[in-house]
Structure formats: C-alpha cells, structure tokens
Amino acid sequence: MALSAATLEVGATRTEVVLENISRTRLVMYAGASGDYNPLHTDEVYITQVAGYPTVFAHGMLSMGATGKLLTDWVGNGRLTKYGVRFVNQVWPGETLTATATVEAIREEGGVHYADFSVTTVNQDGKPVVTGSATARLDA
C-alpha cells in the first residue's frame, strides 16, 4: 500500500525498532551479503590489536539498510526516489536501533506527488547513529 498525498500530513511521524541486540553474527551476515569484508567489522583480533578499537563495530550500511525498512514499511515498496544519510556515531554489538521518520514536506512536481522525510536512527541510549532524509513518490 502506497501513501496518498490526500491523507498524509506534514509533521506525521513513524518510529520502529529496526534491529534489536545486534550480534557479531549479524555483522558477519552483512559482510557476506554485501561483499564488504573489512575486518573492522568482523575480526576481533585485528580490530583490538591493530586498528585500536575496543571491539568490532557495525558497517554503516547495515544501519542505513535497517533504517530503510522503516521508510519502505511506511511509503510502500519501490516508492523511494531519494535516500541519504550521514553516519554520526558507531554502532557496537549488543545495540538496539530505533528509526524515526517525519514528513517535512508534501509537494507536486510535474504532476507527481512527493513527500520529503527527515530520518534519524538512535541506539538504546538515544544517541543518534544515522541522520538523513528521504523522498518518496505518493499516490494522488
């Protein structure tokens, strides 16, 4: 079900837990599926002894991918026209990510209706990890 420009309002907001208690195995899953095998994300020996971090941390693209679920659950499948984020804090194993999207604008361009969203994903302490924006095509 896609959203309709007639019923959606600026300021409408939606929140969803998109990843819960992130395991190291999930980081391995993401590495294997994406082809990003950077040992920063999966190799405890390398990251603690060579890279100088306390433990492995999640691929930024895992957080962005999970955050995309909130957007597509709301706007419908295949409706996004833009989606962009900044990675503002690292995500560590054991964290739970909650994504929130808010309608910032509803507009018409060349006879097509669009909604612009702001997007923020926070960890279990409310610390933002991903912030960004998205645009989706709406039904009339």
Partner 1 sequence: MTIERFPVEESHILMFARAIGDENPVYTDPGSPEAAEFGGVIAPPTFTMAGMQFDPDAFLRPKLGEPWFGSASEPSGATIESTGRLHAEQHFEYHRPLVAGEILRAEERQGESWAKESKRGGTLQFEEMFVDYVSVDTGDIVVTARMVSVLPSQAVQG
**Parallel, antiparallel or unpaired: strands 80-87 and 128-138:** antiparallel
Please report, as residue ranges, which positions from 72 to 111 form the binding site for partner 1 (by CB under 8 A).
72-73, 77-78, 80-87, 90
Closer CB to partner 1, 9 or 72, in the complex: 72
Over the window 20 to 49, marking each residue x when it contacts partner 1 by CB under 8 A and - when it does not, the resulting string is: ------x--xx-xxxxxxxxx--x-xx--x
Measured from the CB atom, is 10 or 29 closer to partner 1? 29
For partner 1, which stretch binds (CB under 8 A), given 3-11, 64-72, 102-110, 117-125? 64-72
The window from 3-11, 60-68, 102-110, 116-124 that contacts partner 1 (CB under 8 A) reads 60-68
Determine which residue in the list 7, 11, 52, 125 makes contact with partner 1, applying CB under 8 A.
Answer: 52
Instruction: Please state, in angstroms and rounded to a whole number, the distance separating the CA atoms of residues 13 and 104.
Output: 10
SS (H, E, C) the chain: CCCECCCCCCCCEEEEEEECCCCHHHHHHHHHHHCCCCCCCCCHHHHHHHHCCCCCCCCHHHHHHHHHHHHHHHHCCCCEEEEEEEECCCCCCCCCEEEEEEEEEEEEECCEEEEEEEEEEECCCCCEEEEEEEEEEEEC
Q: Which residues contribute to the site for partner 1 (CB under 8 A)?
A: 18-19, 26, 29-30, 32-40, 43, 45-46, 49-53, 59-62, 64-66, 68-69, 71-73, 77-78, 80-87, 90, 132
